């Protein structure tokens, strides 16, 4: 088994490099077919090494979720970075340092950060206005022309601030369960809302960019006609949550958490593993009417199997993971199991490193 071959001794996030490379190539090809810029979100993998795999497909523009992450990837040679998170007005030093050496694109949702940027940032930055296309987290409605006009007027007052375009994240697509048609419809709706803004503003801003981005719709849509760039992130690894909603197959999931069994409770059809919230996170999903924190797979000599095990993570505490096991006599203390995470972005973030199936350790941003 791979745990013995790699001499594992603690919870370890396994990365199937070949699946990851295939996911990257497939999404790059989707963008190429639609003639849109592929600006992938790096918040999922947070790794120089995985970023280089993406760079090898010709990508030269990326998305991150924080200024700190922008610094990390700028240090590895990325020089066109969008921070897809509303501007934090307390990061003057970091923003100035980055804006001096790279093309930095920031996100605004209100006039106050624009005035702050104009006053505190001494170098040129480009600004996206975030549009709420259905997630209802941050951003303006595409119908709020007065609000958008106010932001554009504020930006136009300052020569070192440039309006870049409209950006959205279709996070509500993650809540669609198993209906690829609905995911497709959601993707079309997101692009359609942004296109209305382009039609309204293109006369004054002929180079404005429409930038949607989420893994479910980017994985389902065959065409991104009307958009100028796409920004999926989770697609590099996918996860059991993405499989559940229908945006990937089990064979595309590129990460699994290897965990050792530390206790057995056969009367409750449970086994306990060293693999809890500090390894998986506490993201959950509904599975046949039950809340689960990961899907259990059998580890093999070469990685893990996608065959059904009828096992899932029932609940987690800090270090413990309690697994429902239909046939508890088949699992013993000391065995190793694999867990497909509900949300690979957060599992990767808490684990802070990967081990490939070949035994290579890949570090992440810390």
pLDDT band with cut points at 50, 70 and 90 for residue 365: very high
Residue 47's alpha-carbon distances to 3, 43, 78, 307, 351, in angstroms, are 23, 9, 12, 30, 12
* Contact predicate 73/62, CB 8 Å: yes
Residue with tokens 């209100």: 110
Q: What is the pLDDT of residues 140-192, one digit of tens each?
A: 999 999 999 999 999 999 999 999 999 999 989 988 887 899 999 999 999 99
Nearest residue to 311 (alpha-carbon basis) of 294, 289, 332, 286:
294
In the predicted structure, residue 366 carries a pLDDT above the cut 90: no
The matching CATH number, chosen from 3.30.870.10, 3.20.20.10, 3.40.50.10860, 1.10.1060.10, for 18-236 is 3.20.20.10
In the predicted structure, residue 273 carries a pLDDT above the cut 90: yes
Burial of 189 from C-beta contacts in 10 A (0-12 / 13-18 / 19+) = middle
pLDDT at residue 179 in the model: 84
Average pLDDT over residues 305-331: 95
pLDDT at residue 342 in the model: 98
Encoding tokens for residue 46?
């947070």
Encoding tokens for residue 84?
């897809």
pLDDT at residue 163 in the model: 98
Encoding tokens for residue 113?
């950060």
For 264-298, letters b (16+ CB in 10 Å) and e give beeeeebbbbbbbbebbbebbbebeeeebbbbbbb
pLDDT at residue 62 in the model: 98
What is the CATH T-level fold of the domain 2-13+254-363, as seen in this structure?
Lyase, Ornithine Decarboxylase; Chain A, domain 1 (2.40.37)
Instruction: For the chain, give the percent of residues with pLDDT over 70.
Output: 100
Q: 176-180, 189-193, 260-264, 289-293: which has the minimum mean pLDDT?
A: 176-180
Average pLDDT over residues 287-307: 96
pLDDT at residue 28 in the model: 98
User: Of all helices (H) and strands (E), which one includes residue 184?
Assistant: helix 180-201
| DSSP conformation class of 331 | -
Sign for the CA dihedral angle at 196, 197, 203, 206 comes to negative
Q: Where are the domains of the chain?
A: 2-13+254-363, 18-236
pLDDT at residue 330 in the model: 93
pLDDT at residue 354 in the model: 98
Average pLDDT over residues 266-282: 97
Residue 118: HSE in the Cβ half-sphere, 13 Å Cα cutoff = 16
Average pLDDT over residues 8-28: 98
Q: What is the pLDDT of residues 43-78, one digit of tens each?
A: 999 999 999 999 999 999 999 999 999 999 999 999
Residue 25's alpha-carbon distances to 37, 53, 58, 63, in angstroms, are 14, 10, 10, 18
Q: CA 309, 219, 343: angle at the middle one, nearest 5? A: 45
Average pLDDT over residues 280-297: 96
pLDDT at residue 216 in the model: 96
pLDDT band with cut points at 50, 70 and 90 for residue 328: confident
Which parts of 151-254 are beta strand (E)?
Answer: 161-167, 209-211, 229-230
For 200-216, letters b (16+ CB in 10 Å) and e give ebeeebeebbbbbbbbb
In the predicted structure, residue 264 carries a pLDDT above the cut 80: yes
pLDDT at residue 37 in the model: 98
pLDDT at residue 317 in the model: 98
Which parts of 221-278 are beta strand (E)?
Answer: 229-230, 255-265, 270-274
Mean pLDDT of the chain: 97
Residue with tokens 């603690």: 10
Give the rounded distance of the alpha carbon of 268 from its chain centre: 36
Average pLDDT over residues 126-137: 96
pLDDT at residue 177 in the model: 81
Average pLDDT over residues 31-49: 98
Q: What is the pLDDT of residues 75-119, one digit of tens each?
A: 999 999 999 999 999 999 999 999 999 999 999 999 999 999 999
């Amino acid at each position: 088994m791979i745990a013995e071959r790699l001499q594992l001794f603690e919870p370890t996030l396994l990365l199937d490099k070949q699946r990851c490379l295939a996911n990257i190539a497939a999404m790059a090809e989707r963008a190429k077919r639609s003639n849109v810029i592929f600006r992938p979100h790096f918040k999922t993998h947070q790794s120089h090494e995985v970023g280089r795999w993406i760079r090898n497909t010709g990508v030269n523009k990326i998305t991150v979720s924080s200024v700190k992450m922008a610094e990390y990837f700028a240090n590895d040679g990325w020089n066109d970075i969008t921070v897809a998170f509303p501007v934090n007005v307390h990061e003057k030093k970091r923003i100035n340092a980055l804006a001096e050496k790279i093309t930095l694109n920031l996100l605004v949702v209100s006039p106050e950060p624009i005035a702050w940027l104009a006053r505190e940032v001494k170098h040129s930055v480009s600004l996206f206005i975030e549009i709420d296309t259905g997630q209802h987290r941050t951003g303006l409605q595409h119908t709020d022309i007065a609000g958008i006009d106010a932001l554009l007027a504020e930006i136009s007052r300052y020569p070192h601030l440039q309006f870049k375009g409209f950006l959205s994240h279709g996070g509500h697509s993650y809540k669609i369960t198993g209906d690829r048609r609905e995911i497709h419809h959601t993707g079309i709706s997101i692009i359609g809302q942004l296109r209305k803004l382009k039609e309204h503003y293109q006369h004054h801003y002929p180079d404005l960019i429409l930038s949607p981005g989420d893994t479910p719709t980017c994985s389902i849509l065959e065409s991104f006609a009307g958009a100028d760039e796409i920004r999926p992130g989770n697609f590099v690894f996918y996860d059991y949550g993405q499989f559940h909603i229908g945006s990937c197959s089990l064979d595309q999931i590129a990460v699994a958490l290897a965990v050792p069994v530390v206790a057995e409770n056969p009367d409750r059809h449970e086994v306990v593993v060293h693999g809890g919230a500090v390894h998986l996170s506490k993201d959950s999903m509904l599975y046949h009417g039950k809340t689960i924190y990961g899907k259990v797979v059998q580890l093999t000599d070469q990685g893990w199997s996608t065959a059904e095990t009828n096992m899932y993570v029932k609940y987690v505490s800090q270090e413990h993971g309690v697994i429902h096991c239909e046939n508890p006599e088949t699992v013993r203390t000391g065995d190793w199991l694999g867990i497909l995470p509900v949300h690979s972005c957060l599992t990767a973030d808490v684990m802070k490193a990967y081990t490939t199936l070949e035994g290579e350790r890949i570090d992440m941003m810390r």
